[in-house]
Amino acid sequence: MRYIGNKSKLIPFIRQALKELGVTGTTACDPFAGTAAVARFLKAQGYTVITSDIMSFSFALQWAYVVVDGPPEFRGLRNVARSADRLRAVIHSLNELDPRPEFIFEHFSPEGTAGAKHGRRYFTPENAAKIDAVRRRIWEWREQGKLNDDEHYVLLAALIEAADRVANTTGVYAAFVKSWQPNATRPLRLRPPRMVIGTGRDCRAYQRDALDLVRELEPFDLLYLDPPYNTRQYAGYYHIPEIIAEGWFIEPPQLRGKTGLPAAGNKRSAWSSRRHCEAAFQTLVAAVPCRHILMSYNTEGIISEACIERALRERGNSHTYRRLEQPYKRYRSDRDSQTRRYRGDRVTELLYYVRVA
């Protein structure tokens, strides 16, 4: 999934850092999980992982990629899951659904009443109606007791990722592109998530604030931190994946503005606030019960270098403090304009480390 701060391409850098720093252990916590790329990697490396994020779509991805540890059996869908690869069979059945115009079509395609009023072109009408059909089918199966937690979140993750692949955006949902991009005109197709299974590890996922979570955890080995770098509130930049994750079947969200943001926005994060982020960071680092702290950040982050170094040195063994860096191609959600110019096409990705005990 296209996501600000996605670490998929930086996994080799993180892997080398863990080796170089001599980080060992069997338990890890990733309280800013996002798309769960690093948590999935840590699970594959032998860790029992605890993940969290305040966003609902992230929780679905965490469950699918970290919690699930065996092939979904879909015992409640025996009439659908008829082949040996039951997940692929169920995914195929969802891909074969006829479009059913509903909430996404109404609000986020140009043929919906609200979509036309505001000129929204997040999805083609065909793809929007197909998202509606698939999301309703998953909800119906869940309501009928035909899906357990693992099965539900695997299918939901597949839909969230499929919708993102055909979204007419530049990577975030704070704006849509006025003309149809090539990816947006392709038909929506779900794919089976590439899960890490068969590990025997009891991984857990939460939808909680990072500080609230770590205060209640039992001691563990590795804390991996990947807090927001800037003041963009993720609830506004990813409101459509959030709506898809939460559904609209019981109480449809009330939307506002040109982009269709939910009127009741309650997921603002202190970590995306220049005023509050450093205090939040210092409090979390001081409270966490772990042996190693590894933090991803970059040279344009809103938490100062001095604050990071001071907090980590005070929390751990000061002589173990390290700062590693790697040049990285900048994530760009738009182009340069008269009112906004990026300072360059590359940014330096940073890893900060300290051994606590």
Question: How do residues 305-316 score in pLDDT, each as one tens digit?
Answer: 999 999 999 999
Distance, in Å, from the CA atom of 306 to the CA atom of 321, rounded to the nearest integer, reads 13
In CATH terms, the superfamily for domain 1-55+202-233+270-357 is: Vaccinia Virus protein VP39 (3.40.50.150)
295 vs 332, higher pLDDT: 295
Q: What is the pLDDT of residue 340?
A: 43
Q: pLDDT category, 271, cuts 50, 70, 90?
A: confident
Tokens of 39: 């948590």
Q: What is the pLDDT of residue 342?
A: 46
Instruction: Examine the pLDDT at 331 and tell me if it is beyond 60.
Output: no
Burial class (CB in 10 A: 0-12, 13-18, 19+), 80: middle
| DSSP SS3 for 5 | coil
Q: Output the average pLDDT for the chain.
A: 91
Please answer whether residues 147 and 190 qualify as being in contact, where contact means their C-beta atoms are separated by less than 8 angstroms.
no
Sheet strands (E) in 12-61: 27-30, 48-52
Please answer whether residues 133 and 104 qualify as being in contact, where contact means their C-beta atoms are separated by less than 8 angstroms.
no
Amino acid, res. 158: A
Q: What is the pLDDT of residue 120?
A: 96
Q: What is the pLDDT of residue 330?
A: 56
Amino acid, res. 248: W
Instruction: Examine the pLDDT at 2 and tell me if it is beyond 90.
Output: no
Q: What is the pLDDT of residues 203-219, one digit of tens each?
A: 999 999 999 999 899 99
Q: pLDDT category, 230, cuts 50, 70, 90?
A: confident
Average pLDDT score over residue span 75-94:
92
Average pLDDT score over residue span 160-179:
94
Q: pLDDT category, 345, cuts 50, 70, 90?
A: low
Q: What is the pLDDT of residue 329?
A: 66
Q: What is the pLDDT of residue 339?
A: 41
Q: What is the pLDDT of residue 341?
A: 46
Please answer whether residues 330 and 347 qualify as being in contact, where contact means their C-beta atoms are separated by less than 8 angstroms.
yes
Which residues sit opposite 352 in a β-bridge? 295, 323
Q: Hey, where are the domains in the chain? A: 1-55+202-233+270-357, 71-194+234-267
% of residues, the chain, pLDDT over 70: 93
Q: What is the pLDDT of residue 265?
A: 65
Q: What is the pLDDT of residue 351?
A: 96
Instruction: Examine the pLDDT at 24 and tell me if it is beyond 60.
Output: yes
Instruction: Examine the pLDDT at 235 and tell me if it is beyond 60.
Output: yes
CA atoms within 13 A on the CB side of 87: 20
Burial class (CB in 10 A: 0-12, 13-18, 19+), 327: exposed
Q: What is the pLDDT of residues 102-154, one digit of tens each?
A: 999 999 999 999 999 999 999 999 999 999 999 999 999 999 999 999 999 99
